[in-house]
């Protein structure tokens, strides 16, 4: 796999790009994220900053930070020891329509497979999907936001299964526990927090491009309802901050 990553770093610098529309692998991620053998995380910039402060081991997340600093949200799904890595790869790949995304790169090297799709704007990559399969490893990373093309080699570092899994695990440990119901819903959502993570103080709602659409001050209760019924139908991300500095990031969908 490492040999393949080095090849990708060079190949991407000479790849041409064209515009495409946004799509999502949300259903695929939700299907597998709670299953045994999978590691999952949903991060935004604030949660990534918190994760960096707690992950002080020998990993150099500063390079990754340069890539992720303009990201709205980052979804990671990793299976690092699975007998159906190729099947997962094939299933996820089929969900990315060529009419919605441009394929930036497709590489097959023995049992290793890598695909990259994105929406592009000049030197920026938007809504990047990274899909990797090897003999027993599967990695899906979806960046919602902007990635500077000059940082693509740092982006490729996250292809390594260990790095992607480590980032997801540390993000999970750094995040506040939160459950939301019903989801999907009509805009009225019930939030339940874990007392050990501190008092919930602020809610920030953003769209799939990371743009803030609503800010709310929370009442400090560990169970409360928020009204987002004024928002249009679609997917949104909720970011909740607590008085202990923890951050929770969850995706919700409004359907009426």
Q: Above 90 in pLDDT, residue 58?
A: no
In this prediction, residue 149 carries a pLDDT of: 64
Read off the pLDDT of residues 118-138 as tens digits, 9 standing for 90 and up.
877 666 677 788 898 998 999
In this prediction, residue 74 carries a pLDDT of: 82
Read off the pLDDT of residues 136-147 as tens digits, 9 standing for 90 and up.
999 998 887 776
Lowest pLDDT segment from 37-51, 204-218, 242-256: 37-51
Which is higher by pLDDT, 167 or 77?
77
Cα gap 200→238, rounded to integer Å: 12
Q: Above 70 in pLDDT, residue 202?
A: yes
CA angle 215, 220, 223 (to 5 degrees): 95
User: The domain at 178-254 falls in which architecture?
Assistant: Sandwich (2.60)
Is the pTM higher than 0.85? The answer reads: no
Lowest pLDDT segment from 34-38, 72-76, 179-183, 251-255: 72-76
In the sheet where 223-227 sits, what is the strand order? Answer: 178-181, 188-193, 223-227
Q: E strands of 36-80, at which residues?
A: 39-44, 71-79
H/E stretch holding 154: helix 152-156
Closest CA to 60 of 154, 180, 182: 154
Cα gap 132→54, rounded to integer Å: 27
Domain ranges of the chain: 2-174, 178-254
Structure token pair of residue 83: 């007998």
Cβ–Cβ contacts within 10 Å for residue 233, how many? 11
């Amino acid at each position: 796999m490492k040999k393949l990553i080095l090849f990708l770093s060079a190949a991407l610098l000479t790849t041409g790009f064209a515009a495409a529309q946004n799509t999502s692998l949300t259903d695929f991620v939700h299907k597998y994220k709670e299953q045994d053998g999978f590691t999952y995380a949903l991060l935004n910039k604030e949660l990534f900053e918190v994760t960096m402060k707690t992950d002080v081991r020998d990993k150099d997340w500063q390079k990754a930070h340069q890539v992720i600093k303009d990201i709205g949200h980052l979804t990671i799904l990793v299976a690092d020891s699975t007998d159906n890595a190729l099947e997962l790869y094939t299933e996820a790949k089929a969900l990315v329509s060529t009419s919605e995304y441009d394929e930036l790169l497709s590489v097959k090297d023995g049992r290793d497979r890598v695909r990259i799709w994105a929406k592009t704007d000049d030197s920026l990559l938007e809504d990047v999907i990274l899909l990797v399969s090897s003999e027993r490893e599967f990695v899906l990373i979806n960046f919602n936001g902007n990635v500077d093309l000059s940082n693509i080699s740092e982006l490729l570092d996250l292809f390594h299964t260990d790095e992607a899994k480590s980032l997801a695990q540390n993000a999970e440990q750094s995040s506040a526990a939160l459950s939301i119901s019903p989801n999907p819903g009509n805009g009225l959502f019930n939030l339940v927090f874990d007392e050990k993570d501190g008092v919930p103080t602020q809610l920030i709602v953003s769209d799939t491009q990371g743009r803030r659409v609503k800010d709310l001050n929370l009442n400090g209760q560990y169970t409360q309802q928020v009204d987002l019924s004024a928002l249009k139908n679609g997917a949104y991300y909720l970011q909740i901050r607590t008085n202990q500095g923890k951050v929770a990031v969850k995706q919700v969908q409004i359907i009426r």
